[in-house]
Amino acid sequence: MKVVELLSKRIKGEEDVNYNYIYRLLRTNFQLNSGDKKSEVQSYGIEAERQDICNGNIINIEREFIKNISPHRHKVQELLRLVYNNTVSPIHLIDVLGEYVDSCVIDFDEELVETVQSNY
């Protein structure tokens, strides 16, 4: 996986604890199979990380990612902005993006059809 975009923000918490939220747009290759034909397409995902910092020291890290959301970068960038703008915790990443990710599954089917058609 390669990080292609990063958004981050710092939130002042209670007492001496601050929170760094880091959201990453990930790119990886994804293999599509159609019968005996295999094609590789770029796929985009999101990683969310929260660092809990107390007195300048990281005391806890929470991290979660969804690897293959869509082959369409712009769709995943919109989701990245959604989680960034709403300061979504990694703990809730899958709950928040679950339905969006489910609706993007068809993008891989469409990509497979385009790939098969371009090979004929």
Q: For residue range 3-59, what is the model confidence (pLDDT) as tens digits?
A: 999 999 999 988 889 999 999 999 999 887 766 777 788 999 999 999 999 999 999
Q: For residue range 59-105, what is the model confidence (pLDDT) as tens digits?
A: 999 999 999 999 999 999 999 999 999 999 999 999 999 999 999 88
Cα atoms in the 13 Å half-sphere on the side-chain side of 31: 5
Report yes or no: 53 and 21 within 8 Å, Cβ to Cβ: no
Other C-beta atoms lying within 10 Å of the C-beta of residue 11: 11
